[in-house]
A and B are shown apart, each in its own frame.
Chain A
Amino acid sequence: MRELISELFIRNFSNPYLDKLNDFAAVTIDSGRIALSTDSFVVEPWSFPGGNLGDLAVCGTVNDISMSGATPLYLTCGFILPEGMPFDDLEEIVGAMARRAKESGVQIVTGDTKVVEPGAGPFINTAGVGAIPAGVTIGGEMAKPGDAVIVTGAVGSHGIAVLSKREGLTFSTDVISDCAPLNKIVASLINNGIIPRVLRDPTRGGVAGALNEIAAQSRVEIEIDDTKIPLEEGVRSACEMLGYDPLHIANEGCMLAIVAGEDEEKALKIIRGCKYGERAASIGTVAGGQPRVTARTLLGTKRLVDPPSGELLPRIC
């Protein structure tokens, strides 16, 4: 089995570093600053409409690195697999990882596999490294009054897609996960002269969670407009049915970009010209004042936007 697995990895991920079969990968990076990130991926079920655990494991870390403005270069991966996991399932996951790595231009250079008792997992940890271009500093603490808040795609699709397939919670929806690498959008912005102040992929906690973090880090008020949040119809109706707020639902293929007010139009145009950015929308602005997130309601009043509290549980209709 062990041989089979390592053969599978090499066949799918093949690159000069991995193919050496060392316990390490010696890589070259010609940059002053590098960005490092790691994440562990546990998703139940491991396969969902629009992707699987493998898509998430690569896109998740690629995106985390990209949120610094860096170009993601190399990933490591650790698999924790349940004993007796069907080889076809593993192949499906590894295949997705290989496709996503290729798409985002990263190489998976070293890895590890552990097998645990049946019933647990599969789990994947990926860690990655990327090169930050000279002169680029991006961070959650950098939002300033007057900045514009852009979201690069429709919100809530990933969370709803996964939920629709969770055991015991079957409901039919045509929503598919938005899982996607965002590094090309980030690179396009930077290459075209726009250095965002903040980039964040609103995974767990959704847009409301991410904006609240940024507001706290930057000590600013972020004001969004309820009528401008892009949303798939399926997400809207599922949220209505389940009693969820779409701003609380996890995303895996869109990000929040906070840019200087004067860059707003240009940034939107660049993002909309990129794959996965076609539906980008300007959803709000950064203001002074106490750190919080507010929303203009559709009747024009102003409400607070809280991060989600605790696990999302579907309600009784």
Chain B
Amino acid sequence: MNHLDRSDPDLLKKLLKRIRVYAGPPLTIMEVCGTHTVSIARMGLSTLLPEGVSLLSGPGCPVCVTPIEFFDEAIYLAREKNVVIATYGDAMRVPGSGATLLEVKAEGGQVHPVYSTTDALNLAIKNKDREVVFLGLGFETTAPTVAHALLTAKKQRIDNFSVLSAHKVLLPAMEALLLDPEVKVNAFLCPGHASMVLGWRCYEELASKYGVPSVVAGFEPHEILLGINMLLAQAKSGGVHVENAYPKAVSEYGNTAALDILGGVFKKVDSNWRGLGLIPGSGYDLADDFAKYDAREKFLKGVEIISAEPAGCRCADVLRGVIPPAKCPLFASRCNPKAPVGACMVSSEGACGAHYRYREA
């Protein structure tokens, strides 16, 4: 038997106290990962931080950073090409320019929420007479599983399966933020999940080049508080290192097998991010050997899709940590989880959604 939050209360108290007595140079910490955002919002940490220390959410929520044209492509495929769309559930509610996949499903379109790529492959095996397109979203965390599914499809000749890829490479986006004059971040709380694949060493170049203390942290409340403590200690001593506060899951060089699969199936391309724009080498497209399983090659050649971001939505600024969600004029008024205007309110991991759900009473 357990409770909603299982961290040891005494340990939490100790860690929080150490954060609250911090006296050192101001630090703006970006938590890069959406799961961290949720956990931080849920425990109500932001209001307890000492003067000069702030936490901002970064581009770590997969559906949030995926640009609107991707959802328009998926909607086009479901409506015009009559394909079966298999997708992680939270992508279904993200607004495209005119509709959401959930609405397309309600119209009678074939849109299936799946939990894993295995489920998507099974859908293709069961529906041999239909084309099944899996929406490949997310960072190095999810991309290897999609790569694995593509290898399986190729080996077993599941030729009615394809992937519409919007997979993202994490590090170029973190660098783009550091180069953005509007972004004031000077420390990173690095993601736990993506780091399991990437390893903690990978942040070293960024940390030393830009002088940003970086700590990889786990997801439990005490693990997050520990990570923040380590960042504050670095800031106070003037040090800049990459530290691993999540050694039980994250190794120095990560999951090399997963990285190998990734490299074999995908190629790095310039990629458009919601909020961050086009970033060189920041996306994964299917490698040429897998063109047969690339939904863009298969269905979207020569198709022009015109997309328009929802008016007034400040997701672009939220995702860069330029403003906290509450500073968006639509936050909690016109935009809320029941009627989300932008992607950041849709996903359970989106900064706006997390801040709304766990807003201070």
Contact = CB atoms under 8 A, between A and B. Distances in A.
B3 A168 contact: no
Nearest to A243: B348
A96 B358 CA distance: 40
Contacts of B239: none
Given A314-B89, A316-B62, A316-B63, A236 B6 contact: yes
B119 A168 contact: yes
B349 A294 contact: no
Given A228-B3, A301-B44, A315 B360 contact: no
B359 A230 contact: no
A315 B42 CA distance: 17
Nearest to B114: A168
Given A169-B114, A171-B116, A245-B357, A298 B7 contact: yes
B2 A236 contact: yes
A313 B3 contact: no
Contact of B12 (A298, A302, A314): A298
Interface string A162-173: 000000111100
Contacts of B123: 168
A299 B10 CA distance: 11
A279 interface: yes
Contacts of A171: 115-116
Interface stretch (B137-145, B209-217, B229-237): B137-145
B88 A314 contact: yes
A302 B44 contact: yes
B361 A169 contact: no
A169 B119 CA distance: 7
B312 interface: no
A316 B138 contact: yes
Given A297-B42, A313-B90, A232 B2 contact: yes
A234 B87 CA distance: 24
Interface in B10-64: 12, 16, 35, 38, 42-45, 47-48, 62-63
Interface range, B side = 35 or more
Contacts of A313: 89-90, 92-93, 113
B90 A315 contact: yes
Nearest to B90: A315
Given A168-B113, A170-B119, A298-B7, A309 B338 contact: yes
A313 B88 CA distance: 8
B296 interface: no
A304 B90 contact: no
A282 to B, nearest CB: 13
A310 interface: yes
Contact of A306 (B3, B141, B357): B357
A83 interface: no
B4 interface: yes
A231 interface: yes
A244 B42 CA distance: 12
B348 A315 contact: yes
Nearest to A169: B115
Contacts of A300: 44
Nearest to B123: A168
A66 B359 CA distance: 35
Contact of B142 (A227, A242, A297, A316): A316
Contacts of B114: 168-169
B1 interface: yes
- B3, B43, B93, B142 — which one has the most chain A CB atoms within 10 A of its CB? B3
A279 B1 CA distance: 9
B221 interface: yes
Contacts of B361: 292, 294, 302-304
Interface residues of A, number: 40
Interface string A215-240: 00000000000111111110010001
A227 B348 contact: no
Most chain B CB atoms below 10 A, which of A168, A243, A298: A298
B347 interface: yes
A246 interface: yes
A317 interface: yes
A160 interface: no
A302 B358 CA distance: 9
Interface string B108-131: 000011111011001100000000
Given A227-B9, A279-B1, A301 B360 contact: yes
B281 interface: no
A227 B3 contact: yes
B219 interface: yes
B48 A231 contact: no
A246 B358 CA distance: 14
A243 B38 contact: yes
B4 A227 contact: yes
Interface string B180-197: 000000000000010000
Contacts of B356: 306
Nearest to A299: B43
Given A169-B113, A243-B349, A317-B141, A306 B1 contact: no
Interface of A: 154, 168-171, 226-233, 236, 240, 242-247, 279, 292, 294, 297-304, 306, 309-310, 313-317
5 residue pairs, one from A and one from B, having the closest CB atoms: A313-B89, A301-B44, A243-B348, A316-B88, A297-B44
Interface of B: 1-7, 9, 12, 16, 35, 38, 42-45, 47-48, 62-63, 86, 88-93, 112-116, 118-119, 122-123, 137-138, 141-142, 193, 219, 221, 336-338, 347-349, 356-361
27 contacts: A168-B114, A168-B115, A169-B115, A170-B118, A226-B42, A230-B1, A231-B1, A236-B6, A247-B4, A279-B1, A292-B361, A297-B43, A297-B44, A298-B9, A299-B12, A299-B45, A301-B47, A301-B360, A303-B358, A303-B359, A304-B360, A306-B356, A310-B337, A314-B88, A316-B90, A316-B138, A316-B142
Given A168-B112, A314-B113, 5 more contacts: A171-B115, A229-B4, A232-B1, A314-B88, A316-B88
